[in-house]
Structure 1
Amino acid sequence: MPHAPLHAPALSVGPPDELTGSQAVFSTAEFRQRVANIQKALRPTGAEALLLTGPENIFWTTGRQTAGYFSFQALVVPLSGEPVLLVRQLEMTGAQASTWLTDIRAWQDGEDPAQALGALVAALGLRHLAVERNGWFVSQALAERIAEALATVRVSDGSGLVEGLRAIKSPAELEAIRRAAAYAQAGMVAAIEACREGASENDVAAAMMAAAISAGSEAMAMEPLVSSGPRSGIPHATWRRRRMDAGDGVFLELAASHDRYHAALMRSAWIGPPPAEAQAMMDAALRALDAALAAMRPGEPCAAAHNAAQAVIDAAGYNAAFRKRIGYSMGAAFAPDWGEGAILSLFSDVSRPLEPGMVFHLPATLRSYGAFTVGASETVIVTNKGVEPLSDLPRAMTIR
């Protein structure tokens, strides 16, 4: 069966041509190279095209971004030629403005997007489709309907193909992440300054977000983490109007964004002198972070950084206070997560070697669960010789 042309008429009338790429975050050449890299990686699979549904992977491939990604969208990347994007009708204008794509199709409200996808695949004449099975924004019910709509097509697993390419950032991506790091530092400086007896967690969160946004940050893929007193000993707790008292620890973490690329930063503060145990744990966390950063060199496995940090923590006797990975990849992100932890972790037994252009966030935290959390973090770029931390903010606990 011959393939239908990839530039067949769209299923609906889109916005005027002058909008194309007007809001794109990178040049058309940047995205063409990414598509070419996908096509090269796809060729050995035998599939005729790759189907993407995750917002991060669609964004990375095309620049497509919107707050309306809660509605189903799909990108078909063929072995040759241009990708075809399927979005909700309401999203057509934004899709054209944020991408350089020339073929954008639409499904209508009231229409089953799974059926629209099936019709698109049929119109393109595809017989073998690699599918991103681990896309997190497709419900089980929708996945079942998509499977039914593609029943006549051979489907293979294309999970991880794009993620493997995303792990190493281009110069343009690294520049966006550096800018995001500057916004995050501005937010952290303001948050630390707002920590004082009588101030509320909301006061601190408001100062943090206002400073980061004023510095240039766009929408953050996850809310900042601001917690105080016993609440600071609860992982991933955030502001809930609590007022700070003398003797409270304060946990502060945020990721700011530039063109959807994120950089994160975490610091600790204490209202008055900290207890000896908290200070000892803080010192151990900082030594663990230093050890992890020193272990990060091109060619070393991702596990090396974690193992170095874990050795410091174990020697200090805080194994029970640290039961997690030391870091995770950073880059393009949409809610609910500011990181790329599903792509690459700095953790035991992760054997992928570090390469220049990889970016990681390393939160070195130690917790007395339900009492306090202390530590610090850095977002770093792997270089030819080691790592480039993207913050120059002191890591020591701030006493307020």
Structure 2
Amino acid sequence: YDTFGYVFFQTLILDKSGNIILLTRAPDLRQAQNTSNIKNIRIWIDKDDSNPTEDLKVILGELNLKGKKIGIEYESYGLTGRNAMKLNQSLEGYCKIEDQSELVSQLRVIKSAEEISYVRKAAELADRALDEVWKNAKAGVSEGKILAEMQRIIFECGGDYPANEFIIGSGHNALLCRYQAEKRILSNPDQLTIEWAGTYKHYHSAMFRTIPIGKADPKHYEMYEACHEALINSEKKTFTWQYSWRNF
């Protein structure tokens, strides 16, 4: 569930007793009802000079949180700097606030069995998309064609839009590793860089591939062997994956 949090104010309140209350706009009420398990949904009126942080204080009062310590997830893409300033100003003297940006993120690391099944399905969709890449990654084919076939198979198999665009680049764009608007026709020789995700019910499984078009350059082999050797050498029982990743 998302309400374009980059633009509009919304807050999910969770207290020590387990009460969960969502404060959002009227246009997002049905979305919250249909796509979340939240039962208590409050609406703030989106009009000129409205300040939803005041509506939030009403809810906090109902939960007897005035004067209590409240953690706020400031490291949130849905909380703009302007809204954060309004929130701080509104709660000043009302309660004690502190940054608890990592609290929910750490809890989300541990997935339920149902969530794991969604991730596995997302990984399956990512593999299917890669199959389409192999079919089309050849000289004379447009990057747009490759993207279209990848998205097609994911949607046909029940997947969703990803959280961000599929990244594709070749030629002078091969090393950007960020999305850009140009869609080249692959040449021979060429190098195709592609990063994407299988997505199922908003759960993602991301992949990345670098594919030489035509005959691979000797430097490709040298770089591959160097990376492969570094990875193998770091895979020891006493090493964590974090250690392996950094050394790789």
Q: Same fold (TM over 0.5)?
A: yes
C-alpha displacement of 1:194? 1.3
Supply the AA of the counterpart residue of 1:260. H
Aligned to 1:125: 64
Note the C-alpha offset of 1:290.
Answer: 5.1
Go from structure 1 to structure 2 and tell me whether the alpha carbon gap of 1:108 and 1:226 turns closer, same or farther (over 3 Å shift). same
Cα distance per residue 1:182-233 (max 9 Å; x no partner): 0011111102211121111111111111122222221201111111112111
**Alignment size in residue pairs:** 242
Aligned to 1:357: none
Give runs of aligned pairs for residues 279-290 of structure 1, distance below 5 A: 279-289=221-231
Query: Which amino acid in 1 is paired with 2:173?
Result: R
The aligned counterpart of 2:175 is 233
> Would you say 1:169 and 2:169 are equivalent positions?
no
Q: State whether residues 117 and 146 of structure 1, in contact with CA within 8 Å, keep that contact through their aligned partners in structure 2.
A: no
| Mapped partners of 2:188, 2:148: distance in 1 | 21
Counterpart code for 1:138: L
Q: Would the aligned equivalents of 2:169 and 2:177 in 1 still touch at CA under 8 Å?
A: no
Give structure 1 stretches of 5+ with no counterpart.
Answer: 1-64, 310-400
**1:170-185 residue pairs with structure 2 within 5 A?**
170-185=112-127
Corresponding residue for residue 84 of structure 1: 21
Change (3 A) 1:126 1:251: same
**Counterpart position of 2:79:** 138
- TM-fit CA distance, 1:308: 4.5
Tell me the residue number matched to 2:54: 115
- Report if aligned partners of 1:130, 1:156 keep a CA contact under 8 Å in 2: yes
Residue 96, structure 1, aligned to residue 49, structure 2: no
Q: Distance in 2 between matches of 1:257 and 1:211?
A: 11
1:288 CA displacement: 4.3
Deviation, 1:69, is 3.5
Contact 1:232 1:251 in 2 (8 A): yes
Q: Is the 8 A contact 1:291 1:308 kept in 2?
A: no
In the alignment, residue 52 of structure 2 is paired with which amino acid?
Answer: P
RMSD: 2.1
Q: Structure 1 residue 236: deviation in Å?
A: 1.7
Structure 1 counterpart of 2:90: 149
**Letter of the 1:147 counterpart:** N
Whichever residue aligns with residue 178 of structure 2, its letter is: H
8 A Cα contact 1:202 1:239, kept in partner: no
- What does residue 220 of structure 1 align with? 162
Distance 1:165 1:300, change over 3 A: farther
Q: 2:204 aligns with which of 259, 262, 274?
A: 262
Partner AA of 1:143 in structure 2:
A
Conserved? CA contact 2:138–2:186, under 8 Å:
yes
Greater helix share, structure number = 2
* 8 A contact 1:202–1:240 mirrored in 2: no
Distance of 2:112 and 2:233 partners within structure 1: 27
Give distance in 2, aligned partners of 1:161 and 1:195.
43
Q: Which amino acid aligns with 1:124?
A: L
Whether 1:73 and 2:10 are equivalent positions in the alignment is yes
Q: Taking CA–CA contacts closer than 8 Å with sequence separation of 6 or more, which of the two structures ends up with the larger relative contact order?
A: 1
**Per-residue deviation, 1:113:** 2.3
Equivalent in the alignment of 1:203: 145
Letter in 2 for 1:186: R
User: Could you tell me which residue of structure 2 aligns to residue 373 of structure 1?
Assistant: none
In the alignment, the residues of structure 2 paired with residue 180 and residue 239 of structure 1 have an alpha-carbon distance, to the nearest angstrom, of 26
Deviation, 1:67, is 5.5
Work out whether residues 204 and 226 of structure 1, in 8 Å CA contact, stay in contact via their aligned partners in 2. no
Distance 1:287 1:209 in 2: 34
Q: Is the 8 A contact 1:249 1:268 kept in 2?
A: yes
TM score, norm. by length of structure 2: 0.88
Distance in 1 (CA, whole Å) between partners of 2:122 and 2:214 is 31
Distance 2:11 2:186 in 1: 46
Q: What is the TM-score of this pair, normalised by structure 1?
A: 0.56
- Classify 1:276/1:287 alpha carbon distance in 2 versus 1 (closer, same or farther; 3 Å): same
* Displacement after TM superposition at 1:130 (Å): 1.4
Change (3 A) 1:93 1:237: closer
Higher mean Cα deviation, 178-187 or 136-145? 136-145
CA drift of 1:179 comes to 0.4
Pairwise CA distance, 1:255: 0.9
* Structure 2 unaligned regions, length at least 5: none
CA deviation after TM superposition for structure 1 residue 300, in Å: 5.2
